[in-house]
Structure 1
Amino acid sequence: MGIPVPKLTMKETIALIDQVIDERRPELFHVVTLNPEITMSCQHDAQLRNIVEEAGLLTADGIGIVMVSQLKRNPLPERVTGCDLLLQLLQLEGTNARTYYLLGASKETNQLAAEEIERSYPGVKVIGRHHGFYSEAEEERIIGEIEGLSPDILVVALGAPRSERLIHRYKHKLNARVAIGVGGSLDIIAGTVKRAPAIWQKWNVEWLYRLLNQPSRWRRQLILPRFAFRALMYKDKS
């Protein structure tokens, strides 16, 4: 659908982000975990399309994107979801352990996630955090706090595409090395939402597990067949 996703494995993605942090680049490195919902929105939302095109890295967040790439005979190697990416980054140890700022989720979930990260990943430091239910008037103060703390990785869990818009809007002020929109990952880390068992993940039906446990998601899931049809019919005009 005209959006180039690099053919990187999870291991290669981690290595790239690690390198970016070590290089201390002056500009923010925005990682967009691209899912079918964002991809479809990009077809009619010019601002979001621009955000995606300007991102430092896109990853295939969703088996739908990987499957379409395979059917189009230009296969991506694997899923690199926001949740898995965050968990893999947290597992880096020693000199590669990073500082984090957590923005998003509810007040309770945000606190629980920060406590769980520092308990489970020795060496990782959550140097700041704020829940996602803040007023417009508070936003500038929160951005100023992030700027002052200068985290290695800014984790934004405000939901897509709100996370992507915020990162892009303040990319010159955040003073972080890397910023990633991670969807509901803080809920999973905090334990307030249960992730699909490993076997569901292995068979790439994590979306079905979420639907069965959260039937209210059915309207969102309707976008998957629409995405698949449109992506398979897409012809590059260049």
Structure 2
Amino acid sequence: MVNLPERVEVLGAPVDPWTMEQTVSATDALIKQGCFAHLIGVNADKLLQMRDDPEMDSCVRRCEIVNADGASMVMASKKLGIDLPGRVAGIDLMWELCGLAEREGHKVYLLGAKADVVAKTAEVLVERYPGMTIAGYRDGYFSDVDFDDVVAEVEQKKPDIVFVGITSPKKERLIERFRELGAKGAFVGVGGSFDVVSGNIPRAPMWMRRVNLEWLFRMMQEPKRLAKRYLVGNIRFYLLLRKELKRSKANV
């Protein structure tokens, strides 16, 4: 982890202004050093969670790697004159880290989603990365009181990379529990990526990703769950950005 740009703040959220390649390289270095690393992606929704929940704010600031996982963060950074090389989407990072695991011999564990979904995700990854070792997997249907048992179950497999496909804020609390109990390796929050990798839910077509409309595609797939998050959240995010732009101009 040398010669990497220093962490910046976008609307009060910390972000490592790294490319995908830099993120993968830094993760590899942390694994080989025997460190614990919590990798998190910040988008508009995560930024708003940080503002509403001091525990989430503290958690994100503790993370060893914080990527801009959202076109909104990249757009805001450009308007504010903050240099971000681009978006590092969680699912794309998952693919890249699996490639790293195959090349470097890192063992992978999959934690989250329904039992059949995570099992199918393991099948897909083994087919795509035949040289990668999947140390194990389990579903994400357990309560907070079971965290220590889950940590013990995962740690028994001694993985180097753990992909955690659970919703927030449970995902972040669980990963931080791994930290508290002395785990080593890279713990990567990937949200609903297992559903996409397994084929349970389609990903937005490339043209929508290119024009920053992946959020709209996701909302169309699960409108009851995501409509409020995206519609209300995007308005809140825009208002925060407008306020910050006005403040910046007033200080010039």
TM-score with structure 1 length normalisation?
0.92
Superposition pairs of residues 63-212 of structure 1, within 5 angstroms = 63-92=71-100, 95-136=103-144, 138-173=146-181, 175-212=183-220
The amino acid across from 1:73 in the alignment is: G
SS across alignment from 2:156: helix
1:218 and 2:227 matched:
yes
In 1, Cα distance between equivalents of 2:206 and 2:151: 36
SS across alignment from 1:159: coil
CA contact (8 A) 2:40 2:189 kept: yes
SS across alignment from 2:127: helix
1:10 to 13, 20, 41: 20
2:44 to 28, 36, 39: 36
In 1, Cα distance between equivalents of 2:162 and 2:43: 20
- In the TM superposition, residue 198 of structure 1 has moved relative to its aligned partner by 1.5
Number of residues paired by the alignment? 235
C-alpha distance after superposition, 1:171-227 (max 9, x if no partner): 132623110110100111111010011121122211112223332221111201211
Unmatched runs of 5 consecutive residues or more in structure 2 = 1-10
Q: RCO (CA 8 Å, sep 6+): is it higher in 1 or 2?
A: 1
The amino acid across from 1:2 in the alignment is: G
The amino acid across from 2:239 in the alignment is: F
The amino acid across from 2:47 in the alignment is: T
**1:38 to 1:93, Cα distance in 2 relative to 1, 3 A:** closer
In 2, Cα distance between equivalents of 1:7 and 1:143: 31
CA contact (8 A) 2:24 2:100 kept: no
The amino acid across from 1:9 in the alignment is: T
In 2, Cα distance between equivalents of 1:137 and 1:167: 14
1:46 to 54, 58, 80: 54
Over aligned residues, Cα RMSD in angstroms? Answer: 1.9
TM-score with structure 2 length normalisation?
0.87
**1:212 to 1:194, Cα distance in 2 relative to 1, 3 A:** same
- In the TM superposition, residue 47 of structure 1 has moved relative to its aligned partner by 1.0
